[in-house]
């Protein structure tokens, strides 16, 4: 399945005076445009997991979003806004003359893909929403449930440190580490592209938009909910999630219901947030089948 490889092409795209670095694998009119999670992560982990699909006749394009990876990293908190990121995605699509694309959004990239689909539906052949949500207030209630599984004393400890602002305390960090291994990636050894992305995380956009960690949403997206707008989607939609995902199957089901059950939903039973690494033998056949049925 996945393997690390060098891009066939690399581009620099200027967006409002800032440089973005874009990676392309393969060729042809069937383009999978990947929007990775974060915010603030380089695209390595998602790009390297999917680049091999070029062997299946699919051109895979990914890019380091502004503030991440090899792209420019301006020090301006006003830039960390989902509306600006939508414009960024559209400028990349137009700069590379990609035409209509299959858009794959993972985690935060899924929120971005949903927002993009609301404003640019004509640019999409299909929409793939991986381990993501359409309703962050509902997600927050789900995260509280996952935290609760650690036990009442641990939850109280976490709440105390959050109130005091001492999130770097070893006790608090230990609880976050356990939650990450339960609900982000359940592999004993995390793949090299995941480690590379995490080691180069720009926390400025992450903190501004989401919060200080995966289980505390207090950023400018905390009230984001697009389920009502998703009801108007007409493009084919594939929703995937892991049984143990931090962005839970209940969140995935809400998106499917918002689409009046027109979307396809697949839950991978042995995965959390990254089925393309945790369960590739189950995940990739589902993705490939969906892409092949929606070529054109």
Contact by Cβ (8 Å): 33, 18: no
Phi, psi of 51 (to 5 degrees): -60, -30
Catalytic pick among 24, 107, 126, 271: 107
Catalytic pick among 102, 183, 244, 273: 273
Please choose, from the candidates 215, 247, 44, 232, the residue with its C-alpha nearest in 3D space to the C-alpha of residue 129: 247
71 has catalytic annotation = no
245 has catalytic annotation = yes
Looking at the chain, list the stretches that DSSP marks H as alpha helix, in order from N- to C-terminal side: 44-50, 82-95, 108-119, 136-148, 152-164, 170-183, 192-199, 203-209, 227-230, 249-258, 275-278, 280-293
Contact by Cβ (8 Å): 107, 40: no
Please choose, from the candidates 58, 40, 8, the residue with its C-alpha nearest in 3D space to the C-alpha of residue 295: 58
107 has catalytic annotation = yes
Cα–Cα distance list, 293 to 32, 102, 193, 283 (Å): 14, 12, 29, 16
Catalytic pick among 44, 48, 64, 245: 245
Please choose, from the candidates 143, 185, 193, the residue with its C-alpha nearest in 3D space to the C-alpha of residue 271: 185
CA angle (289, 294, 296) in 5-degree steps = 135
Q: Which helix (H) or strand (E) holds 24?
A: strand 18-25
Cα–Cα distance list, 174 to 24, 154, 178, 271 (Å): 38, 10, 6, 22
The Cα–Cα gap between 103 and 82 comes to 16
Catalytic site positions:
107, 245, 273
């Amino acid at each position: 399945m996945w393997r690390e490889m060098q891009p066939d092409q690399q581009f620099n795209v200027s967006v409002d005076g800032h440089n973005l670095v874009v990676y392309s694998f393969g060729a042809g009119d069937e383009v999978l445009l990947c929007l990775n999670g974060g915010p603030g992560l380089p695209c390595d982990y998602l790009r390297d997991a999917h680049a091999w699909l070029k062997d299946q006749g699919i051109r895979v394009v990914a890019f380091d979003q502004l503030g991440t990876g090899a792209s420019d990293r301006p020090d301006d908190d006003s830039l960390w806004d989902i509306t600006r990121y939508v414009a960024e995605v559209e400028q990349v699509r137009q700069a590379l003359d990609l035409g209509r694309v299959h858009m794959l959004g993972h985690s935060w990239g899924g929120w971005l893909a949903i927002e993009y689909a609301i404003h640019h539906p004509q640019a999409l052949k299909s929409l793939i929403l991986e381990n993501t949500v359409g309703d962050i207030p509902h997600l927050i209630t789900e995260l509280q449930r996952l935290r609760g599984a650690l036990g009442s004393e641990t939850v109280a400890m976490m709440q105390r440190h959050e109130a005091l602002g001492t999130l770097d305390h070893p006790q608090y960090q230990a609880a976050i580490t356990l939650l990450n291994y339960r609900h982000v990636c359940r592999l004993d050894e995390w793949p090299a592209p995941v480690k590379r992305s995490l080691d180069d995380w720009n926390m400025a956009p992450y903190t501004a938009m989401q919060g200080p960690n995966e289980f505390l949403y207090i950023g400018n997206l905390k009230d984001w909910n697009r389920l009502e707008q998703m009801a108007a989607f007409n493009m084919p939609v594939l929703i995937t999630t892991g049984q143990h995902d931090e962005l839970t199957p209940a969140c995935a089901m809400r998106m499917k219901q918002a689409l009046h059950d027109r979307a396809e939903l697949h839950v991978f039973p042995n995965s959390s947030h990254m089925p393309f690494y945790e369960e590739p033998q189950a995940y990739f056949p589902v993705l490939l089948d969906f892409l092949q049925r929606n070529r054109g």
